[in-house]
Amino acid sequence: MKPNHVFSLLILLIISLLNVQKIDAQKIVQPITSKQIDSVTELVLKTFQVPGIAVAVVKDGKLIHAKGYGIANLRTGKKVDENTQFGIASNSKAFTTAALGMLVEEGKIKWDDKVTDYIPDFKMYNPFVTDEFTIRDLLTHRSGLGLGAGDLMMFPDGSDFTKTDIIHNLRYLKQVSSFRSKYDYDNNLYIVAGEVIAKVSGLSWEDFVEQRIMKPLGMNATAASISRLKDKSNTIRPHAPVNGKVETIDIDWSETANAAGGIWSNITDMSKWITLQMNHGKYGDSLQKTLFGDVVHEEMWSSQTIQPVRTAPPYNTHFSTYGLGWGLTDVKGYKQVMHTGGLAGIVTQVLLLPEIKLGIIVFTNQQVGAAFSAISSTIKDSYIGVSGYDWVKLLHDRVQAGEAAAKKITDEVEKNITTQINQAGGKFNIAPYLGTYKDAWFGDMVISIKNGKPWLASKRSPRLNGELFPYKGNTLIVKWTNRSLDADAYVVFSTDMDGKPSGIKMNAISPLTDFSFDFQDLDFIRVK
């Protein structure tokens, strides 16, 4: 056989194999239909006791699914639709990094400029860290602070801490790891980032993101905070389990922290945002307009801080990192760009697979994150050829296991409280503990008698107040009056040489307590 005939046969064989692979891929990858999304979302509503959910799917630059499910507000019975507004929580962080990226592109700042160049009062506990801290460090959760450090200054809502207070008090929060060595999620440094934007642009963070990002994109139903929404007639209310029953709760977010999580939007508007992202900052009918360019876009989607990773089925993930306002990983060989957000009674997710131009948005008005993951994972799997995973069941089983483990702990605490009270004949001698205790960044906590009950109350965050109960030795338990907080805590007293209580440390009891209740960072000294 002549060489050219051999070559021709090889070409035909290769084409044949490629066609077989193409046919196999078509068999495996069967994008989910809107009816199937409806089915899985309705199942999620029931399985996870979520009143309302909104789901959007963007593919190849087009919004191919946008729909609301369930109830926006259990008190009114109003339904969720594609225009219902949710608090997007920490998905706001990507807007903050985009705003900074625009200022970088304009030559007004650099990612690695020192923070103190713009905010001279900025100080961390370690002077070296203060001197080296850059704008990039504000965005990448590698400061050395612990998980959620200082969040009690803005969560729960109702405290009197201003942005100036929060920035000043960072100097009292001790690092738990060395600078730039470890990922620990934070919110307060994004507040600082928002103030950098204000200093450089002359606009508040809220005005900047609304005027420079939301308005050009036509995100007309979106605002930088709930107080700035022009029309609140189609907003959700948050919901949470209270004594075992899902109830409507108050919107819980301090507007001092808007740059970290204050935006309210709907899936229709947010589809414009993720389309912009997948188009590398370009928008408009023919992508003729640019919000930010390729260099800034790639920087935001580049790995900055390494996170632990599990190489387990079904996605065969090899890396997990944080970029600038986005989490980055790989799933089945595709780059995944994703972020979640959580407020009391609201959790959200934005997930992008840019190589196949797929974007998924899931907003919920209950605080169980497994709900959005079950929906987004089901949709994602259908586009990347993963099958055989019932995410609703798998994640529900995990939630139940976690709740059962937490219940063992809380039940044991309740048992000890009952034992202590019974041994004391129903009386609890609170007298030695009465007084005022001060923490350097959180301020005063007062232990007193209220309506005949031992009581603990924060002076600066009034929603943190509740009855005290005996537990073991010099450890008491506080049960917060607001039961939706789900954050009861150990109150551990140290004593002086005479055995008199002289200080307090605290820790959350349940492992399911939101990390923003960073009781472990408090160190109270008795002052009265």
Residue 16: which pLDDT band, with cuts at 50, 70 and 90? Answer: very low
Ordered strands of the 327-331 beta sheet: 78-79, 62-73, 52-59, 358-364, 346-353, 334-343, 327-331, 320-322, 305-306
SS3 annotation, 18-38: HHHHHHHHHHHCCCCCHHHHH
Q: What is the count of structural domains for the chain?
A: 3
Q: Give the tens place of pLDDT for each residue, 205-254.
A: 999 999 999 999 999 999 999 999 999 999 999 999 998 899 999 998 88
Q: Is the pLDDT of residue 23 over 50?
A: no
Q: Give the tens place of pLDDT for each residue, 29-83.
A: 799 999 999 999 999 999 999 999 999 999 999 999 999 999 999 999 999 999 9
What is the mean predicted confidence (pLDDT) over 425-441? Answer: 91
Q: Is the pLDDT of residue 141 over 90?
A: yes
Where is average pLDDT lowest: 13-22, 135-144, 329-338, 484-493?
13-22
What is the mean predicted confidence (pLDDT) over 18-32? Answer: 55
Q: For residue 299, is it within any domain?
A: yes
Same domain, 450 and 361: no
Q: Is the pLDDT of residue 425 over 90?
A: no
What is the reported pTM?
0.92
User: Which sign does the torsion angle of CA 174, 180, 181, 187 carry?
Assistant: positive
Q: Is the pLDDT of residue 526 over 70?
A: yes
Q: Give the tens place of pLDDT for each residue, 305-330.
A: 999 987 778 999 999 999 999 999 99
* CB 468 within 8 Å of CB 456: yes
Residues 6 or more apart whose CB falls under 8 angstroms from that of 218 comprise: 269, 272
What is the model's pLDDT at position 310? 79
Q: Is the pLDDT of residue 271 over 50?
A: yes
Distance CA 300, CA 320 (A): 15
Same domain, 248 and 102: yes
What is the model's pLDDT at position 11? 44
Question: Mean pLDDT of all residues in the chain?
Answer: 93
Same domain, 187 and 112: yes
Domain containing 191 equals 31-389
Same domain, 141 and 277: yes
Q: Give the tens place of pLDDT for each residue, 174-203.
A: 999 999 999 999 999 999 999 999 999 999
Q: For residue 395, is it within any domain?
A: no
What is the model's pLDDT at position 276? 98
Q: CA 483, 55, 237 angle in degrees (round to 5)?
A: 30
Q: What percent of the chain has pLDDT over 70?
A: 95
- Read off the tokens for 184: 């620990």
Same domain, 302 and 443: no
What is the model's pLDDT at position 182? 96
Residue 121: which pLDDT band, with cuts at 50, 70 and 90? Answer: very high
What is the model's pLDDT at position 426? 72
Residue 28: which pLDDT band, with cuts at 50, 70 and 90? Answer: low
Give phi and psi for 341, each to the nearest 5: -145, 145
Q: Is the pLDDT of residue 422 over 90?
A: no
Residue 9: which pLDDT band, with cuts at 50, 70 and 90? Answer: very low
Distance CA 323, CA 302 (A): 5
Distance CA 316, CA 383 (A): 16
The number of residues making up the chain comes to 528
Same domain, 61 and 194: yes
Distance CA 103, CA 203 (A): 12
Q: For residue 394, is it within any domain?
A: no
Distance CA 40, CA 38 (A): 6
User: Could you say which of 389, 413, 442 is where a domain stops?
Assistant: 389
Q: For residue 186, is it within any domain?
A: yes
Beta bridge partners of residue 338, listed in sequence order: 327, 351
Q: Is the pLDDT of residue 296 over 50?
A: yes
Burial of 43 (0-12, 13-18, 19+ CB in 10 A): middle
* CB 278 within 8 Å of CB 58: yes
Same domain, 57 and 170: yes
Same domain, 15 and 40: no
Distance CA 25, CA 134 (A): 46
Q: For residue 309, is it within any domain?
A: yes
